[in-house]
Structure 1
């Protein structure tokens, strides 16, 4: 394929991984036009809907467009407004209020429509499940044409016409249309070729509703984005401006993260009608006013979300007193805005990688409305079905759902879901997995290849932005950037190729990265354009540090407080559980730790055992689980250090927080000449027994060794029977046996201790960390 298309092996590989395996498929994927769209009359029900709409227009019937409050519903309603205007039809629109009315058709809205003289209702992005409501409309003498894209229930409504590619028996080849896509097909059936600019509306709804950007959706979204770059719609122009999107370079990502949240904010906090008014406005001043109003609503929505997230996390911490997080997180609060609980659930899932349900409680009625977000390991719809008797209503998909229940059922609801999850899920289900597009070298992504990859855009569901793995890169440079150092910028090198890498919102990681370390990187590739120059750039998605890390934080003034700060900073990035963290300290120097992380494992140095467990967590959790160790004090001996590293076999992070020793206590690796000099000095002053304190002081002065060093050298002499210690005095043995220094255990211990302290207490950062890494890796 690389040869046939004259593209790089990387681009050809990306096409193949997306199921594009022939030249014809590739040409359609890369250059499909509106001419390639399927015949709209292949949609079941279209043949009935078209003549009914034509009849209504010709006879001047009053038509009601009934939509939904999310971005797809807003887009669908907006598209139908343009369609009705084009037909010069008499029409009205109705979108239910999310909080006051809820999703779907409502009988009171049908009564209102009847009073307005409506004889035909066209639903968009809703209606496929409205069996009772459509029966009621029929009784009122109103015909209903349903256009929808949601999963069809077992019992379908008796509408005048049902148009939904997912309904049983529908031969339409592409099942992934958004609600706005189905509405567009209706317009296409009547008009033949709808105005090209309408694809802009289709693109917004399709992207916002997370529909797969394959098949017809890819064609419609590509054409819509192309048109949007020179849009004539005042509303879209104003929306892009307030979202900070350069009109000439708008992408699916811009729509998803810039425009869609602002459209959705209207339905979440107010009424979706304001977003419809914006998209369909033909007045630039009105569009400016409406777009700024939506922007303010979105800012308010962000604040509401942050407030609920903070409250929810506090609730969760209170629940998890033993440090373990439930299999399914269920949190509920009075006054939590039900319009944003799905966003809150997503944010908490992102942090804990658990299925999450967030519910808002109505304080007057006690009713709870909530949203669920799940991980691949748990079908949340199936989990809800297992306890359906506890809920008034529920519905959804494997990854997202909604429900309502009374607060009296909350505890039973949470327990039932956790029982189901415990039986259905394994440990591996709780490990986040990111799909990547293979392992490549930095040299594989020069500018021309990155430009080539853009041919695969628009990126979105079922056609994600390529994520590439680069193994064994060397970190050359690290720095924080942006306001308050919020973002991270790296420079990495691999086999002579050098490239910048950026991670937004991860500035804190600069504190735990050190130049020279080896990184495996997961990244998206992009082009950094600045002052007319273009160069390749990596957008970091994740990274792994190859080999253990040692962090030099020696002489920390408040080491226990620093432990807490480090945990708070790194645990979200590293998904650390407290049972993976240990701290070790010397009980002689500190009687009890000043640590709030009471459920992390605490250990103490032990003269006999090397180290021993200090708290219940240390007795409970397997030491093999420990990946991060905080060393509050230096071991008393090299043997203790060896025992420490042997106990925690899987350490990947070691934080050194101990204080340096006073130079007056410094040890040096002893030499034979030092012992010879000390022995000669001792012989001169100790013809008679001499008080040990006096001898040590004089020997220290005459040999330039510290008191501590001299005292430990005395231990060696005593072991070798060169001296005896009697009642606080030193007695020199006149004719000691001949014994090698190397035969003394104290001599070996002194040498090992001096070497350890030289590196841990007195060496610079590079020498200290390198020595500890060599010990962690098992080097002698």
Structure 2
């Protein structure tokens, strides 16, 4: 198993049927119900990704001030600096606002700080440089919300500062002319999950006015979609609309550099979706910032020269390969360090090194957080100081954790799931202890375990058709807040198994319900998963359509495998699910519903074995003994249901211990109608 725990949502057959009745495909309906969108009204509201979902940008605090100041700068011919960040969100934000202002006739200097030399966010040296270049207005994108001192410095230089950001705010906001951030406590804007590029897009829409909204959305949705997906923002609400519009725009983008990058990344002829952005396009754009030359990616997005765009696209792909090599080396080293840590330092993983590449440690932190099931903090040391990148695990709030440890830090910023910080090397031991203590207290001292959220079990493989799987496209785009659907299938037989991709991936053929499915499990081997040909497994997977030489078939992209339960174990698990009051599928309820004959056979057995003294027995042995006496196949789950019904109707006194059943007959006068049992009525209702 890759995950220690599978969390499976309770299914509601009636709700699924209602969505199917409203015209939704079965697999899509099952997924939406599992995620709480269990009425046609809720489902339609979620699936609606039309432009009508977009909120008025002027509803954001200080947007009126920001737009007015930029409009004045354009009218007066002032030189404006667009100051961004070196990640994909910051690069796309910088490119989007720069392109718009230049098209409006503005004199614009795009500025992205060097990750290695300057670090994240506004810095006073950069402001001095921009002031000397004649800049009178600085507009930040995807940064600036914590730049209190830098805002004071800009004021001393006589430069106006407009901040647009989407990161968490601290108690004190910078004293800028306008501070536009939906996370401001006094900002009434209803959608709080915009990326930095989303806020930049809103500024452009505010400047353009309602009459130009369609035009500007068509022009900039591609950049906004890339930054939103790359920054792992929740793909709900406005973001769902932005990304869907952006994916359409990407297919026919007029940006020569972006078109070249799509070609170099092998995406030109492939379907473009959020996964393609997140795993193929974004890493290449991000590589420039990680390797200390973010201006290359910004130039690629802004260039109008196809030849220069091609040249830059090739450079970005080469930088990405270099980044992958460095990342693999640092990851191997950090895993050795992590394995050597004592248990009290495993609640939060804090690692420091003086030779790590600052641009890569964030990715390594993500890998470590997933591998060790805890928040990970990576610190790059130089001249007795450290620059840290951290990544969350299991929804742990990093920003709150860094706030708690703020006295030990020189500075920090970010959001709940990803953040950065600076620290003196001498404070790292105290920070390690404080952070581990904080995480331990937040989790109650219990180990954080890797969990997989499974939307629905598949009881009938007949629904896994090409048409059914294609129906899941309704749920696109996938990402944070709207992950790809995950289904589970129990008791699959592994008929063939091989390792592909240089032994890095597992290719399987799985048999279930008279059908055979191809499956691929990325970054897994047979030894790691403990599986072999002929094994029976439960599989958690995302279904997809595979095309090969014109042949289209349903394929499983495997999320996890685990040994299948024996029949007796599966039956007991189903009974316990019913006993806990969880919803059952029609098929599950029908499997649990005893026949009249089964009641009769069990009652005769109990009369013969528990007449004078209580019967002590395990459920499995009791079911086996009854089956032998009646010449029937044993069934643990229906035997247990019969006993519960007898107990409910006062025929027996039933007690459960850890492994045993304690059964004593009661004296009852007259006939007892078992059909009136609440248990039987409930099972019949769920199975009909």
Aligned-residue offset at 1:48: 2.1
Distance change in 2, residues 1:51/1:370 (3 Å): closer
Could you say which residue in structure 2 is the equivalent of 1:444? 463
Could you say which residue in structure 1 is the equivalent of 2:485? 466
Matched, 1:170 2:187: yes
Aligned-residue offset at 1:534: 0.9
Could you say which residue in structure 2 is the equivalent of 1:357? 377
Aligned-residue offset at 1:413: 2.8
SS, match of residue 452 in structure 2: coil
Select which of 193, 196, 199 maps to 1:179: 196
Deviations 1:54-79 (Å, cap 9, x if unpaired)? 22112211111111111100000010
Matched, 1:479 2:512: no
Q: What RMSD in Å do the two structures reach over aligned CA positions?
A: 2.3
SS, match of residue 7 in structure 1: coil
Could you say which residue in structure 1 is the equivalent of 2:156? 139
Aligned-residue offset at 1:19: 4.5
Could you say which residue in structure 1 is the equivalent of 2:422? 404
Contact 1:440 1:469 in 2 (8 A): yes
Distance change in 2, residues 1:361/1:185 (3 Å): same
Superposed counterparts of 1:55-204, under 5 Å = 55-191=72-208, 192-193=212-213, 194=216, 196-204=218-226
Distance change in 2, residues 1:51/1:392 (3 Å): closer
Could you say which residue in structure 2 is the equivalent of 1:546? 564
Contact 1:341 1:358 in 2 (8 A): yes
Aligned-residue offset at 1:119: 1.7
Contact 1:393 1:403 in 2 (8 A): yes
Could you say which residue in structure 2 is the equivalent of 1:5? 22
Could you say which residue in structure 2 is the equivalent of 1:37? 54
Distance change in 2, residues 1:475/1:82 (3 Å): same
CA radius of gyration, larger in? 1
Distance change in 2, residues 1:510/1:104 (3 Å): closer
Residues in 2 aligned to 1:511 and 1:143: alpha-carbon distance in whole angstroms = 58
Select which of 510, 516, 523 maps to 1:492: 510
Matched, 1:327 2:344: no
Could you say which residue in structure 2 is the equivalent of 1:282? 304
SS, match of residue 434 in structure 1: strand
Deviations 1:24-54 (Å, cap 9, x if unpaired)? 5534543432244222211222222223222
Distance change in 2, residues 1:417/1:136 (3 Å): closer
Deviations 1:438-483 (Å, cap 9, x if unpaired)? 211332221111100011101001010001111122222222233x
SS, match of residue 119 in structure 1: strand
Deviations 1:391-412 (Å, cap 9, x if unpaired)? 3223444433322223233333
SS, match of residue 455 in structure 2: coil
Matched, 1:347 2:364: no
Answer with 381-390 or 189-198: which moved more. Answer: 381-390
Residues in 2 aligned to 1:417 and 1:127: alpha-carbon distance in whole angstroms = 26
Could you say which residue in structure 2 is the equivalent of 1:434? 452
Contact 1:481 1:507 in 2 (8 A): no
Contact 1:240 1:246 in 2 (8 A): yes
Contact 1:213 1:462 in 2 (8 A): yes
Distance change in 2, residues 1:3/1:313 (3 Å): closer
Deviations 1:400-433 (Å, cap 9, x if unpaired)? 3322223233333323333334444357543211
Ranges in structure 2 where 5+ consecutive residues have no aligned partner: 1-17, 567-688
- Which has the bigger relative contact order, CA under 8 A and spacing at least 6? 2
Aligned-residue offset at 1:151: 1.6
Could you say which residue in structure 2 is the equivalent of 1:615? none
Matched, 1:221 2:238: no
Aligned-residue offset at 1:213: 0.7
Matched, 1:374 2:392: yes
Answer with 115-124 or 459-468: which moved more. Answer: 115-124
Ranges in structure 1 where 5+ consecutive residues have no aligned partner: 549-780
Matched, 1:455 2:474: yes
Distance change in 2, residues 1:424/1:215 (3 Å): closer
Aligned-residue offset at 1:10: 2.6
Distance change in 2, residues 1:538/1:324 (3 Å): farther
Residues in 1 aligned to 2:86 and 2:420: alpha-carbon distance in whole angstroms = 15
Contact 1:65 1:124 in 2 (8 A): yes
Contact 2:488 2:538 in 1 (8 A): yes
Distance change in 2, residues 1:324/1:540 (3 Å): farther
Aligned-residue offset at 1:383: 4.1
Q: What TM-score do you get using the length of structure 2 for normalisation?
A: 0.75
Deviations 1:203-222 (Å, cap 9, x if unpaired)? 00000111111111111110
Aligned-residue offset at 1:511: 8.9
Superposed counterparts of 1:496-507, under 5 Å = 496-507=514-525
Aligned residues: 543
Residues in 2 aligned to 1:175 and 1:421: alpha-carbon distance in whole angstroms = 26
Matched, 1:50 2:67: yes
Matched, 1:527 2:545: yes
